[in-house]
Amino acid sequence: MLHKKNKTSRKQPSQSRSRATVETILDGCVRVLDQEGMQAATTSRIAEASGVSVGSLYQYFENRDAILNALQDREFARTAEMIHAHLVRDKFDTPRDLAGSVVESLLRLYRSSPGLHRVLALEGLRVAPTDRVQAFDHRIVETLRVFFESTIFPIRRRNKHVAAFVLYQSVRATMLAKILEEPPGISDELLTEEVTDLVVSYLI
């Protein structure tokens, strides 16, 4: 009743060509967000930046929000994978090294598309009114919690869930603020060091 027709939720991007187009569109959207910001992310601007027509956008996505949702999903997945990959590494030296490498990777990830991550943080591309942000934030927090529960490193926090939540929000916000504001007198190295200190002194 809300939509005249509901078809089969657009093109099922199963064929590799379809999937490629979807990725192309998402990449275009990231470019727009990074260089021109959220308010510029109109359907025609996204189409233009992706090198496809507006019509094609709608061949692959239900509507504008669906693009942003998909982009969010993809980026959260990448973030989660990145963090997970660090935590399951066999080889590590000290807890501090591990923490530092995660922090540093996060900084790098954010720097690769600051505009995108600015929007993702807190506001979460605004689409599903909070659910999507919460759901994905939660996934990352869970990854951290599980690690805290199972690592042989001694963690002095009683409530691992809260600890994961606090640390994820803290590190993310600090790194993003760094990239977005570039406050004078604070280098990447220095900040990575300090944030790692924050994490380690809280956990151990």
Residues that bind a copy of itself (CB under 8 A): 2, 4-5, 37-40, 118-119, 121-123, 126, 130, 133-134, 137-138, 141, 157, 159, 161-163, 165-166, 169-174, 176-177, 180-181, 183, 185-186, 190-191, 194-195, 197-198, 201-202
> Applying CB under 7 A, does 170 fall inside the site for DNA?
no
> Applying CB under 7 A, does 64 fall inside the site for DNA?
yes
In the complex, minimum distance from the CB of residue 20 to a copy of itself, in angstroms, rounded to a whole number: 23
> Applying CB under 7 A, does 158 fall inside the site for DNA?
no
Give the chain as a 3 state SS string: CCCCCCCCCCCCCCCHHHHHHHHHHHHHHHHHHHHHCHHHCCHHHHHHHHCCCHHHHHHHCCCHHHHHHHHHHHHHHHHHHHHHHHHCCCCCCCHHHHHHHHHHHHHHHHHHCHHHHHHHCCCHHHCCCCHHHHHHHHHHHHHHHHHHHHCCCCCCCCCHHHHHHHHHHHHHHHHHHHHHHCCCCCCHHHHHHHHHHHHHHHHC
* Closer to a copy of itself by Cβ: residue 7 or 91: 7
Q: Which range in 57-65, 101-109, 168-176, 182-190 contacts DNA by CB under 7 A?
A: 57-65
* Closer to a copy of itself by Cβ: residue 22 or 176: 176
In the complex, minimum distance from the CB of residue 143 to a copy of itself, in angstroms, rounded to a whole number: 14
Chain residues binding DNA by CB under 7 A are 3-4, 11, 15, 17-18, 21, 39, 41-44, 52-60, 63-65
